Chain A
Amino acid sequence: MAQNLLDSIWATMTDVLPIALIIIGFQCLVIRQPIANIERVGFGFVYVLVGLAFFLLGLEMALFPIGKLMAQQLTAPEFIMGVEHASASGKSPDWSQYHWVYIFALAIGFSTTIAEPSLLAVALKAHQVSGGVIGVWGLRIAVAIGVAVGIALGSYRIITGTPLHWYIIAGYVIVLLQTLFAPRMIIPLAYDSGGVTTSTVTVPIVAALGLGLASNIPGRNPVFDGFGLIAFASLFPIISVMAYAQISAWWFKPE
């Protein structure tokens, strides 16, 4: 356990080291000014480092094994069709028989997004910058709904084997149309929330779901069909965050 923790801290440090070097380099060579509250900032860095190390180790011990196991169990033919059917008929199940997979995709997409630290960071900043107009929870829930729908639709795509780029291009068209009508203030934040959501917690679980689906469904190749869920998960929050702003603008519109 202690060894794992040390490994995890070491891995986080190699992640942080380039950033620290760049910042220190520019601070000393270009800006040439001491950092304000250097002690507090230093402690903050240590907190982030240790916190991330614990977080990642905990994920590896708790969340990833069970997430992967559940993705496998839910996509297994025996679970989808019932044990006797799977061995007897040899027929592949219809896409609608995977309803538990869609529900799982919705639920796990939503809940992992709520736990995503990067999204929390951006939501805190947006709350502060907007003077409290954008609620931390409002933004997080809007993003989480987007990720949930995205991953469920992405699972449907893997199950039916339809080409990825048609979905993504259709999503882009919706984003473009919304950009024309959404309140101007929300647009950059909505675009950002797409990239932010798919981070430490979501990526490994979602990747496991994609690989599980692609390897268990007849006619799918995990190497070619397992990808693409992350793309869905980073496109749909853009749509849902703009929709959230559009709905609240419409709701609070003075008569």
Chain B
Amino acid sequence: MPSVFLKTLIESFYDLLPIMLVIGFFQFAVLQQPIPNLIEILIGSFFVLIGLTLFVQGLEMGLFPLGESLAFAFARKGSLTWLLLFAFALGFGTTVAEPALIAVAQEAANVAAEGHVIEGTQQARTDYAFGLRLTVALSVGFAIVIGVLRIVRGWPVQYLIIGGYLGVMVMTLFAPPEIIGIAYDSGGVTTSTITVPLVTALGVGLASSIRGRNPMVDGFGLIAFASLTPMIFVMAYGMIG
């Protein structure tokens, strides 16, 4: 165990090395300014290193096996309804509490108030931000359902993605311009560090336990849907709200 930990620790160090080099180079060679609070930054970097090491170990021990065993259990049970219900719950539940999404929703409410889409009061902004969060969470739940259905049925991923892209383009024509930037960004921020491993393990596990599916061709693609549908849903929200 200790040797595994040490090995992961060294790998984490290599993962973080590029950031330190970039910051060091720009700070000393380009900006030519000293780094403020050097001690706090060193302690923080050490925390990042320890945190990444523990995260990777926990991933292999907990999240990956759990996602796969759930996928196998659902495949054995053979009930598509329960599987899809689980898929929706997972997508909705993990997104609605996502800190990055809460931050983006707040920003979006400020944009809407500045653009006079909604009233400038605190209440109006809070309502708008909350509505946006629900919209994105619904869209991610919907995306995981469609993605799981795709794995079960064996549809090619590109048709769904191309359909989604067309949806984004059509919505862009009609959505108010000030929402477009936020809508495009909201696609990227919804998938958190805990959701990604779990959803990936679920997809790969499903594809390996269903006869005739290839885990490489059919197992991936869930995250892609989860980052596409929020764009469409948020633009729709901008048009209605």
Instruction: Give A contacts to B, CB under 8 Å.
Output: 11, 14-19, 21-23, 25-27, 30-31, 33, 35-37, 40-63, 65-67, 69-70, 73-74, 79, 100, 104, 107-108, 110-112, 114-115, 117-118, 120-122, 124-126, 129-130, 164-165, 168-169, 172, 175-176, 179, 184-185, 187-189, 191-192, 194-200, 203, 223-231, 233-234
Contacts and interface: CB of A to CB of B under 8 A. Distances in A.
Contacts, number: 328
A79 B182 CA distance: 29
Contacts of B172: 165, 168-169
A75 to B, nearest CB: 12
A31 B50 contact: no
A65 B157 CA distance: 40
A200 B220 CA distance: 21
Given A126-B216, A126-B220, 6 more contacts: A47-B54, A55-B48, A66-B36, A125-B204, A176-B165, A227-B107
B: interface residue count bin: 35 or more
B200 interface: yes
Interface in B35-58: 35-37, 40-58
B144 to A, nearest CB: 12
Contact of B193 (A50, A117, A227): A117
Contacts of A35: 66, 69
A62 B16 CA distance: 12
Contacts of A46: 58
A176 B161 CA distance: 9
Nearest to B231: A231
12 contacts: A19-B198, A21-B93, A25-B89, A31-B74, A36-B69, A58-B43, A58-B51, A62-B47, A66-B27, A165-B180, A191-B223, A191-B224
B227 interface: yes
Contact of A199 (B82, B196, B226): B196
Interface string B94-122: 10111110000001001100110000000
Interface in B166-206: 168-169, 172, 178, 180-182, 184-185, 187-198, 200-201, 204
Given A172-B169, A188-B157, A195 B64 contact: no
Contacts of A18: 93-94, 96-97
A125 B122 CA distance: 44
A50 B110 CA distance: 33
Question: A120, A122, A169, A228 — which one has the most chain B CB atoms within 10 A of its CB?
Answer: A120
Interface string B213-239: 001111111111011000000000000
Contact of A195 (B26, B33, B35, B191): B191
B136 interface: no
Contacts of B193: 52, 117-118, 121, 199-200
Describe B's contact surface by its main secondary structure. helix
Given A129-B204, A234-B188, A60 B55 contact: no
Interface of B: 15-16, 18-19, 21-23, 25-27, 30-31, 33, 35-37, 40-66, 69-70, 73-74, 77, 82, 86, 89-90, 93-94, 96-100, 107, 110-111, 114-115, 157-158, 161-162, 165, 168-169, 172, 178, 180-182, 184-185, 187-198, 200-201, 204, 215-224, 226-227
